[in-house]
Chain A
Amino acid sequence: MVTVERDRELHQRAWNAAASVVDPEIPVLTIADLGVLRDVVLDGDHVEVAITPTYSGCPAMNMIALEIEIALERAGFHRPKVRTVLSPAWTTDWMSEEGRQKLRACGIAPPQASNSRRALFGEQTVACPQCGSDKTELLSEFGSTSCKALWRCKACREPFDYFKCH
């Protein structure tokens, strides 16, 4: 029983350490909020963490993996391993409600529920994270990072990032 307790405690500690790592491009979100953190496996004292990329070419992945290793080392786990899994493919549906609120609070419109992303000139509405107006327009399908698009609010005239539904 003592070992089970200890394992559970260790696992929780490893999970918390990995889950505390933030996205280097959107530092208000942790990798747990994003759904990038998929699994933490404990084998004895050895930890292996599974993460999944948001986009194939996301340049933040190497940095995230390094940050996880550092966080786990600091939490007392030696030589942790980080593994990338591709399947199932990451989707914005995995983003936590807390994550969505954090995004909105820092001026990024959170992803909406899956819509018809194949539709040409798709008629989607995204509410402005600044003033809440839905009188907004798409400026560019591609924004400052792979996962964001650039929008503009026609009410408050502020441009804003929209975390694309994926």
Chain B
Amino acid sequence: MFKRFINLQWKAFFRSSSFGKSLALKIVMIFFGLYMLGALVFVGAFLYEILRKVFPDQNPMWMLSRYLVYWVFIELFFRYFMQKLPVMDIKPLLSMPVKKSSIAHYILGRSGFSGYNILALCFFIPFGIVLVFNGYPIMNVVLWLTSILAIVMCINFTNFIINKSDKALAIIGTIIVLLYGLDYFQFLPVKNFFGPIFHGLYQYPIAVLVPVALAILTYWINFNYLKKKLFLDASLRVKTKEASASDLAWTKRFGDMGTFLQLDLKMIWRNKRPKTQAFISLFMIFYGLIFYSMDAYGITSPMIVFVGLFMTGIFLSNFGQLIPAWDSGYYSMMMSQNIPLRKYLESKVNLISVSIVAMFLLSIPYVYFGWEAIALNFSCALYNLGVNIPMVLFFGSFNKKRIELDTSAFGNMQGASAVQFFVLIPLLCLPMLLFFVSKLLFSFEIALGVLAALGIIGLLFKEPLMKRITELYRKKKYIMIAGFKEKNS
């Protein structure tokens, strides 16, 4: 029986639509995948040395153990978004002469081999190997790795248990913040409390039984739950959330545009993929902290321009580059309805403009790092408004791939084509280069002026630019309609 299941799985993988993607995209995805794994292996292998250098008087194993509690919760937090038990796949099996318990075993066992589990192992196994080379007893290390594997499985199965509620996510998020906060302000020695527990897994090899037992327990809970729920109407039906109608009356103030603005806002708020992307955009405001605090990059370096463009324009690039594919599900309606194309595009421009202004306002606290920060982000925002918005719309006219709005946003390449990678060059690299050259030739202030001036020029020529772009969309209309109709692209 299981052999058959595995055969099915194999076919599902190799016949999936992602394998039919264009070659360029495949290469990029494989590259990113290998890069991620490579980076994990690399960090895992060198972590021992790093810890030795940073904390010369502490045992690296002990230092790592102190932080493992955060790993568990953070991984749980991220998995909530990324991993779902694929219960829908077994619908066709229900009416077959297969025991329910073997279906449940199959689907749970399969999740054990999911890629997310491999990520953590890629990190811990190299670390373990280095430990052995440094004279740690093999038996302890091997059993410690077994414990880690069991913990990964616990995380895997716990995720499926909590996956049903948003509340669990909020609780995990709160725990992470709370633990870190208590530790940071030294109210409670969280690290000192959990450190010995995790270190014990290494020190007393017999302790391996605890995580293994926990893993089996979580598996068993899931198994019982699943077995009971393997009916079409119970857990297998895609849950429908109660709709919350809202009329967003304030959008009426924008006149004709309000109608579209309202639609876009609902689109973002009620669909998983654009919603997560909007949240990611908001979080990116902290991106600057990484670079501003680094001494390697002075506040006037081109890298900081990149940061400025990125922070003010993250929504522009995330949302903008998939215009009009966001509306792909109902594009033929939009095109046969009483909608002038120009108004449709203009409402997108307004939405993006608001996002840029909002992100600039949020970035004002960076003035802490010097007045240059605010001046720089201001000119970057202007450049985004004037130049990058028309640019992103222009590249958008090449979109002809459908997007399913309700799929996850993480690592989702749906709707992406090689264009999305090329678009970043003119969007980010061009202004960086401009800045770099004019700063080299003249000064920081003039370089800022150049970016701002280009932005203002773009804004002045908005009318003819938009006219051209509208014309382009009109011409591409038939290709877009045909492309958006193709599912599984």
Asked if chains A and B come from one complex, the reply is no
Give B contacts to A, CB under 8 Å: none
Give A contacts to B, CB under 8 Å: none
